[in-house]
Amino acid sequence: MRQQPRSDSRGILDPARLLRQVRFRRHLPAPALRPWVEHYWFVDWDLTEPLEQRVVPHPAVNVVFQRDGDGPERAEVAGVGLKLFSITLSGTGRVSGVQFRPGGFHPFWGGSVAELTGRRWPFPDLADRWSRARDHTGGACDGTDTQRRRVLDGLLTGWAPEPDGVTDEVIRLVGKIRSDRTVLRVDAFARRHGLTTRRLQRLFLDRVGVGPKWVIRRYRLQEAIEQAAGGPPPDWARLAADLGYSDQAHLVREFTAVTGTSPAAYARSLG
């Protein structure tokens, strides 16, 4: 079991700018929650002018608690985001977020996670269909990081997720896609793991909220973004081939469609 949360900036566009202007950090949850929860993420800010931040979402559900200034704490469930996510921060505020492992929200939700895909549900709107939305009484954004972690640990543990072998299998399969760059085709990946393509697709839609092809493409695109931001411009044609795109133009089209800018222009913007 991991002893530290991941430290990459994958999915965050212009991470250096973000880290200069806000306090961003990740923490692991209590050990009992780690089979399902990737990490907690905290953001605190005190800005003199607005900051727009853009993120290419992971194939993961987030539960997000936010307080702006001295206002009330708001809570929402954010399903897997299909498009670029953009938020403008201003003044002072705090966010305490829970990023679940892809597939890991299913035991907390109890139904098909695809219901949440592409949507952000404030807790009050979920109260009639998801009893756990009524269990939150605030405090997730208060105090020190240790205190905020304890509130989240208590909240999630109180939701009493039930171990589920199918969910465990899906979480493991998504982990293989994320870590193995040779995974490029859904049919080959399904055969490798003794599944039919249809069975794999049903599992992913139900537990992750998106299909396996989308997961493969999203992880490979995030890798391309990270490489564009990580130093000298890469050999785009070679990178496109390595990541399973049909050619460089295919990578450029997908990169531009998701981020709103071409790979070369994005790399230049960070220089």
Per-residue pLDDT at 227: 81
Q: What is the number of residues in the chain?
A: 271
Per-residue pLDDT at 234: 80
Which residues on adjacent β-strands are paired with residue 96? 42, 65
Nearest Cα to Cα of residue 77 among 7, 29, 127:
127
CA–CA gap between residue 108 and residue 156 (Å, rounded): 8
Per-residue pLDDT at 135: 79
Per-residue pLDDT tens for 235-248?
A: 888 888 888 888 89
Look at phi and psi of residue 205 and say left if phi exceeds 0, alpha if psi is from -120 to 50, else beta: alpha
Per-residue pLDDT at 14: 85
Which residues on adjacent β-strands are paired with residue 98? 40, 63
Task: Report DSSP state, residue 116.
Answer: G
pLDDT exceeds 90 at position 63: yes
Nearest Cα to Cα of residue 64 among 41, 38, 96, 91:
96
CA–CA gap between residue 222 and residue 229 (Å, rounded): 11
Q: What pTM does this model have?
A: 0.93
Cβ atoms of 75 and 151 within 8 Å: the answer is no
Nearest Cα to Cα of residue 56 among 89, 82, 87:
82
pLDDT exceeds 80 at position 34: yes
Mean pLDDT score of the chain: 92
H or E stretch at 2: none
Which residues lie closer than 8 Å to 120 by C-beta, 6 or more apart?
Answer: 76, 77, 78, 79
256 by DSSP, 3-state: which?
helix
Nearest Cα to Cα of residue 80 among 268, 255, 242, 208:
208
CA–CA gap between residue 156 and residue 163 (Å, rounded): 14
Per-residue pLDDT tens for 86-105?
A: 999 999 999 999 999 999 99
pLDDT exceeds 90 at position 226: no
pLDDT exceeds 70 at position 271: no
pLDDT exceeds 80 at position 232: no
Cβ atoms of 136 and 126 within 8 Å: the answer is no
Per-residue pLDDT at 26: 97
Which residues on adjacent β-strands are paired with residue 100? 37
Number of H helices, E strands in the chain: 11, 8
